[in-house]
Amino acid sequence: MAASQIDAAGHCWCGGCSLQPLRVTVLSGAMGAAAAATASDVAGKGARPQQTLGRSVVVTGAGYWSGLENRVELRPAPAGSGVVFVREDLGGLRVPVSLDHRVEAASRTNLQAGSAVVEMVEHLLSALAALQVDCCEVGLTAAELPGLDGSAQAYVEAIDVAGIVQHEATVSPLCVAEPIVLEAADIRARIEARPPTTAGLSVRYELDYPGKPIPPQHYGAAVTPQHYRKEIAAARTFLPEEDARRLQEQGLGLAVTTADLLVFGPAGPIDNTLHWPDECARHKVLDVVGDLSLAGRPVHADIVAQRSGHRLNTALLAALLTAERQQQERAGSVVREV
């Protein structure tokens, strides 16, 4: 395994922390010819028709951070268009879903193209990716997507109402050929992508915050549309009571109550009950799915994460895209030499 280090913004799972510089170590092996051939073969077998919505549907609600109401309209889109946000309140400025458009933000995933910003996109993107909606235009009337109940359930229900239809064009996955590991030792966070044991994405998340009221837990699953609907979509975002209080003291989330998401006090969730004992770990799986969707195509890998957040998740995606590009360059070099 070869090791390298990159600078990344600091991971913070509680919203009240500022972004701090963080040293991330990337461990990866040089991709051999056999591994590259295997990845190419699996990617080819994993190709499927691109999909979009059968009709437009609307989800409305207020953003957690801003408190602003937003009307989110999910619309069918042509093959090859990917997922694109449209800021209707800014005259139709468009923000394509891509890792290139990700911008730093504490405890959420934001995108920006030019002057147009879209905030807290991970829950919607998770639902679209898990249900295999590749092409979708998302009209917005404000920057921040609705917080809803802190899960992706409302988006899944909206997608199911719209229905899913296939395009003739296909999409090929980003397929991991050799393990890549990212570690952030100073916050004891780690995320690893391994070659998939079967075509598709599986995610296992191990959660442990010593000194916090959220109990250690783990959850893992193959992320199929059926399993996501039943076991992941309804998992809600969470934070300790002390962090919720600090955020509101900063003027953030003033319209959010303890009934709107999972706020943990010493005795457990306040004004709320868990859907599952491991709901927090399930929500972290939901987040990983949403962050990896910035690839713009399906990701086929087995992911194992410990204490990873949005920054480490997307740093892993960057490493995967770099590894794929290097493999393609090496393959091209071999062809030219022949």
Q: What is the CATH number of the domain that holds 180?
A: 3.30.230.20
Alpha carbon distances (Å) from 248 to 66, 109, 212, 242, 286: 11, 20, 19, 10, 25
Instruction: With beta carbons less than 8 A apart as the criterion, state whether 223 and 202 touch.
Output: yes
Number of domains in the chain: 1
Distance CA 93, CA 142 (A): 12
Q: Given 101, 283, 300, 310, which residue is catalytic?
A: 310
Lowest mean pLDDT among 148-152, 208-212, 231-235: 208-212
pLDDT category at 333 given cuts 50, 70, 90 is low
Tell me which residue range forms the domain holding 25. 2-337
Q: What is the pLDDT of residue 301?
A: 98
Residue 43 has pLDDT above 70, yes or no: no
DSSP sequence for 91-132: TSEEEE--GGGEE--TTS-EEEETTEEEB--HHHHHHHHHTT
In terms of Cβ atoms closer than 10 Å to its own Cβ (0-12, 13-18, 19+), residue 47 is middle
- Mean pLDDT within 55-74: 96
300 as an active site residue: the answer is no
Quickly state the pLDDT bin for 45 (edges 50, 70, 90): low
- Judge whether residue 80 has pLDDT over 70: yes
Share of the chain above pLDDT 70, in %: 84
